[in-house]
Amino acid sequence: MKIACSLGVRLMVGAAIFAAAQYGQRVPNDSTAGYQDRYITVNGLRLHYLDWGSDDKPPFIMLHGISRVAHQFDHIAARFKNDYHVMAIDMRGHGDSAWSPNGAYLVADYVKDLEGFAEQLNLRGLLLLGNSTGGRVVQVYAGLHPDRVARLIVEDVGPERPTDIAAAFQRQVQQEASGWASEDELLESLKRSNAKTPENILRSYAHFGARQREDGRIVWKRDPNLARGFIETELWRFVREIKCPTIYILGGASRIVPPETQQKLKETLPSVKMVVMPGLGHYPDQESTEDFLRIAQAFLAGTL
């Protein structure tokens, strides 16, 4: 199913977040920002997550892509917090979460963290949203724990990661090792490579996803060893076990989930929803936020 989507939608997350980001300040941890910073120790690693909403609402966990951070969901999380208890996790090796001492960054390692997170917080009836690598993690978790997952949203990723995509990230890590002179320089770099993404979203990514190195250079908050786990991957055995209502929201201009994989998903999960957003790339939620939200909210409400 294809849904025509307008491009260039700008969704403001809140003036305080981006005013603070513009001047290099830490966003205050209060109701102005709309979330709480929290930490939990899982599998021996201290994980950071952002918490919107309250415990009396259905739990909604969001997982980011490789080299991204939990703050990548700032522009949509607040739109769900009235109905759900939204939690966005910095996966191990990313953002303000701990790095794995032995470079354990396979999809299976992230899944173990999600298992521990849900178990410690006693979360059931989960709603899961994952984009890119986070989307692979939620697919596996939903297949392993069908009794815990109520609905699954997978953004522009399927059960397969071919060798060429894995190699591209390894090259990216090498190319970005020297960092940038300033946060503004990093932002300009992001704007060049993400032309369809609104600047406010990219500014948040540059601010929360990077840090200043001892030599003054700005570098990503990520373990360089992430590339060791970003390898050719095949997850069909887990996808076959998914029981909950599931939707794949794909970018029409992205090559991550080719037509043959889409067809195989439909054959594997006969009731799956498949929405292709024409002209969009790997992060449809950022490139056309309002349209993505309409799709996701309709799916969660059971009207799609």
pLDDT single digits (tens) 127-154? 999 999 999 999 999 999 999 999 999 9
Which residues constitute the domain of residue 89? 15-301
pLDDT in tens, 33-71: 689 999 999 999 999 999 998 889 999 999 999 999 999
* Interatomic CA distance for residues 233 and 82, integer angstroms: 36
Nearest CA to 94 out of 287, 232, 193, 225 is that of: 225
- The H-or-E segment that residue 210 falls in is strand 210-212
Is 74 a member of any domain?
yes
Is 61 a member of any domain?
yes
Please name the amino acid found at residue 72: Q
Is 3 a member of any domain?
no
89: helix, strand or coil: strand
pLDDT in tens, 144-200: 999 999 999 999 999 998 888 878 888 888 889 999 999 999 999 999 999 999 999
- The H-or-E segment that residue 49 falls in is strand 45-52
What are the C-alpha distances in Å from 149 to residues 85, 122, 123, 304?
14, 13, 9, 18
Q: Tell me the H-state helices in 123-235.
A: 133-144, 163-175, 183-193, 199-209, 226-229
CATH number at residue 108: 3.40.50.1820
* Interatomic CA distance for residues 78 and 88, integer angstroms: 11
Is 5 a member of any domain?
no
45: helix, strand or coil: strand
Neighbours of 98 (CB within 10 A): 19
Number of domains present in the structure of the chain: 1
Is 98 a member of any domain?
yes
Mean pLDDT score across all residues of the chain = 89
Tell whether the model's pLDDT for residue 277 goes beyond 60: yes
Q: Could you give the percent of the chain with pLDDT greater than 70? A: 89
* Interatomic CA distance for residues 19 and 239, integer angstroms: 42
Is 231 a member of any domain?
yes
